[in-house]
Amino acid sequence: MGVATADAVVIGAGVIGSAVAHALAVSGRSVIVVERNGAPGQGSTSASSAIIRFNYSTFAGVATAWEAHHDWLNWADVLEAPDADRTAGRGTLATFVRTGSLCLDCPTHDPGKVLALFDQVGVPYEIWDAATIRARVPAIDPARYYPPKPVDSEAFWADPEGELGGYHTPDAGFVDDPGLAAQNLAAAARRRGASFRFHTTLTAITTSGGRVSGVDVVCGGVAEHLSAPVVVNVAGPASGRVNALAGVGEDFAVSTRPMRAEVNTVPAPSGYNGPEPGPLVADLDLGTYFRGTLGGELLVGGAEPACDPLHWLDDPDVYEPGPTAELYTAQLYRAARRLPDLTVPNRPVGIGAVYDVADDWIPIYDRTALPGFYVAIGTSGNQFKNAPLAGRYLAAIVDSCESGRDHDTTPVRFALPHSGHEVDLSAFSRRRSLHAGSSFTVMG
């Protein structure tokens, strides 16, 4: 068996694994990334709606999303991109598209709490009543339907009860190509000396003297040992399996579980897009979300309404990758109630993909009980936007723990350069009490 040595091994080259690799390399470590696919960003990342919004249920969530949004605005600088990349035009660096975001009122999503967090963090917003919604986005019918109902029930077609408003955050938007964002981070990590092993699958995590000592991998039938004092699990929906290989999980108060989700694509209705894509809309009143695309389409996803079953998976690699009649109908019919001019084509178009869901839909960025073994997992369908910062959070936790700090008892605090706030990273601890104020949906 061949042997290679590094200061750190990262399992997974999704957008967060690539960000972790970049941040660890920037901190001066030699890094090897192990990825079973042939390129970065081909797991959950490539399926991401890549929505950049700021509404979360915790201070740490809002502060992280607001800070990370500045990274997307300054993407070339975050990557330390060469001049050729900066001037190459669309398709070389992922691009943030500012559209604004409208979060519609819903009794289970207390706007008062979110807006108080926006005030605390400094996120600009406006309150829109139904008349303002109609004036600003004529395609939207601001009727109130709460609670969400199964689309095959008669109740779904009942008349609305009054109207609703919402809050608008003008700085929200989306990243045009999430897979490209992962490739950009991987290229940045490589410029800092990291190496990526593609078509390479993790088979074992090795220990010595009570701490991690590296990983065993296989590539094209050839086994290799990668010796490293630090190993980071960023395996996305396969995170539970990787934790099992490391023998950790006993002291996790928060567990993760793979869940299939679907995003459907339809032509955007008239009155939704202007010259630029319309605002992204979080519609917990009906149980859906949607956003525009640069090509004049609408991406429609689900927001886990309590009336619908969740699609938990026993095996994160065994799922339907195309659209299903069940979710296509549910998501599109809900969107069509909100956007009366939306036409729902007979032939479903979309993708099925997998979320790595934490019990309270808040990620786990943490050390573990096995010294040297770290996790960036449980990203719950809502952490693409935070990837660049998640990488730096992990590097800070690794640096502190490897210097002797016990992050469990003396949590690392991370200073956010743009907002000036500080985030106590125990908010993302594996041992936290489940956050009762979470939406327990993709909204986090």
* Residue range at the interface with ligand FAD (CB under 6 A); choices 154-162, 249-257, 382-390, 405-413: 382-390
One residue of 44, 99, 331, 419 binding ligand FAD per CB under 6 A? 44
Euclidean distance between CA atoms 206 and 435, whole angstroms: 33
Question: CB under 8 Å to 400, separation ≥6 — which residues?
Answer: 407, 412
Look at the alpha carbons of 152, 154, 158, 163 in this order and tell me if their dihedral is positive or negative.
negative
Q: Can residue 215 be called a binding residue for ligand FAD (CB under 6 A)?
A: no
One residue of 22, 29, 36, 311 binding ligand FAD per CB under 6 A? 36
Beta bridge partners, 168, equal: 102, 126
Q: Least distance from C-beta 333 to ligand FAD, angstroms?
A: 19
Q: Least distance from C-beta 112 to ligand FAD, angstroms?
A: 24
Euclidean distance between CA atoms 163 and 129, whole angstroms: 9
Q: Least distance from C-beta 62 to ligand FAD, angstroms?
A: 13
Beta bridge partners, 364, equal: 377
Q: Can residue 10 be called a binding residue for ligand FAD (CB under 6 A)?
A: no
Residue 306 tokens read as: 């309590």
Coil/strand/helix, residue 364: strand
Coil/strand/helix, residue 141: coil
- Nearer to ligand FAD by Cβ, of 355 and 440: the residue is 355
Q: Can residue 368 be called a binding residue for ligand FAD (CB under 6 A)?
A: no
- Nearer to ligand FAD by Cβ, of 6 and 51: the residue is 51
Number of chain positions touching ligand FAD (CB under 6 A): 38
- Nearer to ligand FAD by Cβ, of 237 and 269: the residue is 237
Cα angle 402, 395, 204; round to 5: 70
In eight-state DSSP terms, residue 143 is B
Question: CB under 8 Å to 148, separation ≥6 — which residues?
Answer: 284, 285, 286, 287, 305, 306, 307, 308, 334
One residue of 21, 78, 139, 202 binding ligand FAD per CB under 6 A? 202
Q: Can residue 293 be called a binding residue for ligand FAD (CB under 6 A)?
A: no
The H helix count followed by the E strand count for the chain is 11, 24
In eight-state DSSP terms, residue 164 is -
One residue of 284, 353, 375, 401 binding ligand FAD per CB under 6 A? 353
One residue of 273, 382, 439, 441 binding ligand FAD per CB under 6 A? 382
Q: Can residue 235 be called a binding residue for ligand FAD (CB under 6 A)?
A: yes
Please report, as ranges, the residues that interact with ligand FAD according to CB under 6 A. 11-17, 34-37, 42-45, 47-51, 201-202, 234-238, 261, 263, 353-355, 379, 381-385
